[in-house]
């Protein structure tokens, strides 16, 4: 196919758009690939749509290769199935809801577990029909609070979502593995640098879950990894390495001290080091009790105390992930007033437990550890309070921040944090959705058996931004061949009629050789044309320029920047081999 720039619906921009902060957003807009219609809502212009379709093609090929079958569910969905699973409510403001002319409730699908479970229930009735994996590549909707960076985090976006249905846990593990492998192939073909991290499954429910994160400084996801072992995990998924319990024998008794004006950890540590406790005290020796209130959607608010070593903050994301699907809020002044036993800055385990407040502690607070903590009275702390002896928490919680240098959960090396963009997600959902809809099929032994589900997503439109983010320079985009909007960008940079005709013939021959050509046949200066070729980022740039008179054509590699002249006579073969590598 030959696409003429003289005809193409394209206008490149010299300046970055005012609302763009990240390189991919700036370049995709400047190069005329996408345009903003509303916050998080974009249109795809011709070249952008081609890249999107290329990504879709790669995803589709790899899904078909693992035997997944493509179907298409609607985006406009009735409320009922989402009511059954409580996601109509759980999604909160993130769901676009609407009513039809008769007042019936609908939503715009953010993900389709409910509908796929119902679809399989509707068609398949026997163990002989399983396993089955279905997928769709479809426009999805989420009313993001902060749509961001153009198509990177949109409110209308294209996603590939697939769902596996197996009769056994082993089958699910196999389907999960097949998807995980397919995703590795997809992201490798797309030229994306990524890591696979252990993940919590959030509102999706279920157990085993990993995320594919594209490495990127502008990513919103923080993950940690151990260089030594290759371990990588979402911060939310990091399991704290707990020390071994300590025997109580010989541990000193707890003693309450007057500690005037020590409402913060820093002031408390200062007091402790001045009080001659017989040892140097650091923040890690103190136990900080943070109060929040928690509720399951639709339920009542209840107090929850979270105890963490004083040298660490509570990480809101980790706390939130640990509590899901319950939500939490910080206490208001009114909450403190209603619970006078909570003495701000001096809260201790004693008052919490006497007043029936649920008390969860960091996993480092094992039996036998001794703490300086609040004594539930202004200006008073208790020293030498021993976990398991002087107080017994209701359990542990992963809520304390993870820090660079923390030991890796797999026992090898220490953790370092990095940022990434979520591009894929694989879940072993289990039977949450098949339970909700009572999806039962006839088992081999004649008894009903309930399929177990996996759920797998790839952010298709997001990947266009991710690839642009990972593959650009200060001049423009640099598409990997697999997703480029064309194979060759052929620039006519010579006003001579013979050169123009030669370029036109070359385009026709390259087209005949099966390549997609963008032909810059505009009446513009070579400088303008070269700048646009750099901005558009097609991998191989061919220039019919001054050298034409000497029988030469130039071939430029947009990725390496290398350039070489080849004889016009062999140009077709040379370009084909440059494209096909």
- Give the residues lining the site for a second copy (CB under 8 A): 7-11, 32, 35, 37-38, 41-46, 49, 52, 67, 69-78, 93-94, 96-98, 100-101, 104, 106, 108, 115, 119, 122-125, 132, 134, 139, 141, 143, 145, 155-156
Distances (CA, A) of 289 to 257, 267, 268, 350: 18, 16, 14, 11
Residue placing its CB nearer to a second copy in the complex, 94 or 388: 94
Q: Which two tokens stand for residue 348?
A: 């201790």
Smallest gap from residue 293 Cβ to a second copy (A): 23
Residue placing its CB nearer to a second copy in the complex, 394 or 511: 511
Residue placing its CB nearer to a second copy in the complex, 123 or 313: 123
Closest CA to 143 of 25, 41, 24: 41
Residue 75 and residue 512: Cα distance in Å, rounded?
40
Residue placing its CB nearer to a second copy in the complex, 69 or 282: 69
Smallest gap from residue 196 Cβ to a second copy (A): 29
Distances (CA, A) of 22 to 217, 242, 244, 393, 469: 10, 39, 46, 45, 8
- List all residues 6 or more positions away from 534 whose beta carbon is below 8 Å from its beta carbon: 475, 476, 558
Smallest gap from residue 123 Cβ to a second copy (A): 4
Residue 179: CB atoms within 10 A of its CB come to: 29
Which residues, in sequence order, are bridge partners of residue 566? 553
Smallest gap from residue 124 Cβ to a second copy (A): 7
Smallest gap from residue 178 Cβ to a second copy (A): 14
Residue 293 and residue 323 in contact, taking contact as beta carbons nearer than 8 Å = no
Residue placing its CB nearer to a second copy in the complex, 64 or 273: 64
Residue 448 and residue 421: Cα distance in Å, rounded?
41
Smallest gap from residue 72 Cβ to a second copy (A): 4
Smallest gap from residue 137 Cβ to a second copy (A): 10
Smallest gap from residue 139 Cβ to a second copy (A): 7
Residue placing its CB nearer to a second copy in the complex, 393 or 459: 459
Residue placing its CB nearer to a second copy in the complex, 42 or 212: 42
Residue placing its CB nearer to a second copy in the complex, 94 or 378: 94
User: Could you give the maximum distance between any two Cα atoms of the chain, in Å?
Assistant: 98
- List all residues 6 or more positions away from 466 whose beta carbon is below 8 Å from its beta carbon: 24, 152, 192, 214, 216, 421, 423, 459
Angle at 148 between CA 143 and CA 149, to 5 degrees: 145
DSSP H helices, 237-303, are 265-274
Smallest gap from residue 569 Cβ to a second copy (A): 32
Residue 311 and residue 8: Cα distance in Å, rounded?
60
Residue placing its CB nearer to a second copy in the complex, 102 or 279: 102
Residue 383 and residue 374: Cα distance in Å, rounded?
9
Residue 70 and residue 160: Cα distance in Å, rounded?
10
């Amino acid at each position: 196919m030959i696409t003429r720039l003289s005809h193409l619906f394209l206008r490149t921009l010299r300046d970055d758009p005012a609302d763009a902060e990240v390189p991919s957003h700036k370049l995709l807009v400047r190069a005329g690939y996408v345009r903003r219609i509303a916050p998080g809502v974009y249109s795809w212009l011709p070249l952008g749509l081609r890249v999107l379709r290329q990504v879709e093609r790669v995803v589709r090929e790899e899904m078909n290769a693992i035997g997944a079958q493509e179907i298409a569910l609607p985006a406009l969905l009735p409320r009922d199935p989402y009511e059954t699973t409580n996601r109509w409510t759980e999604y909160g403001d993130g769901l676009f809801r609407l009513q039809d002319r008769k007042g019936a409730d609908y939503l715009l699908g953010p993900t389709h577990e409910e509908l796929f479970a119902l679809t399989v229930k509707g068609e398949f009735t026997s163990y002989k029909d399983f396993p089955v994996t279905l997928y769709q590549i479809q426009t999805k909707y989420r009313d993001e609070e902060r749509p961001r960076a153009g198509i990177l985090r949109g409110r209308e976006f294209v996603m590939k979502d697939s769902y596996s249905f197996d009769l056994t846990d082993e089958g699910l593990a196999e389907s999960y593995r097949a998807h995980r492998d397919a995703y590795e192939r997809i992201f490798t073909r797309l030229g994306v640098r990524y890591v696979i991290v252990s993940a919590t499954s959030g509102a999706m429910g279920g157990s085993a879950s990993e995320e594919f994160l594209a490495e990127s400084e502008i990513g919103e996801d923080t993950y940690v990894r151990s260089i030594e072992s290759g371990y990588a995990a979402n911060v939310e998924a990091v399991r704290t390495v707990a020390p071994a319990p300590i025997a109580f024998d010989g541990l000193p008794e707890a003693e309450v001290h007057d500690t005037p004006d020590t409402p913060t950890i820093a002031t408390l540590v200062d007091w402790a080091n001045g009080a001659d406790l017989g040892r140097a005290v650091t923040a890690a020796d103190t136990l900080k009790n943070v109060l929040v209130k928690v509720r399951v959607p639709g339920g009542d608010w209840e107090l929850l105390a979270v105890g963490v070593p004083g040298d660490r903050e509570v990480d809101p994301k980790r706390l939130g992930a640990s509590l899901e699907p319950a939500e939490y809020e910080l206490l208001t002044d009114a909450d403190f007033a209603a619970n006078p036993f909570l003495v701000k800055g001096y809260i201790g385990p004693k008052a919490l437990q006497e007043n029936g407040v649920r008390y969860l502690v960091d996993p480092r607070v094992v039996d036998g550890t001794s703490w300086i903590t609040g004594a539930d009275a202004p200006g008073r702390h208790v020293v030498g309070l021993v976990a398991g002896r002087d107080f017994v928490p209701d359990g542990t919680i992963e809520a304390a921040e993870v820090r660079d240098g923390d030991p890796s959960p797999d026992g090898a090396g220490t953790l370092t944090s990095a940022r990434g963009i979520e591009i894929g997600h694989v879940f072993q959902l289990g039977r949450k959705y098949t339970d909700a809809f009572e999806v039962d099929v006839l088992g081999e032994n004649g008894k009903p058996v309930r399929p177990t589900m996996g759920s797998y997503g790839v952010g298709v439109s997001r990947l266009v931004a991710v690839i642009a983010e990972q593959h650009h320079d200060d001049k423009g985009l640099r598409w990997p061949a697999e997703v480029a909007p064309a194979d060759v960008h052929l620039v006519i940079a010579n006003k001579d009629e013979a050169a123009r005709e030669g370029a036109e013939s070359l385009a026709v021959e390259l087209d005949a050789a099966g390549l997609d050509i963008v032909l810059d046949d505009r009446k513009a200066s070579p400088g303008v044309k070269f700048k646009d070729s750099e901005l558009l980022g097609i991998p191989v740039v061919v220039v019919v320029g001054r050298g034409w008179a000497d029988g030469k054509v130039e071939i430029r590699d947009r990725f390496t920047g290398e350039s070489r002249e080849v004889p016009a006579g062999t140009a077709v073969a040379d370009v084909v081999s440059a494209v096909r590598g």
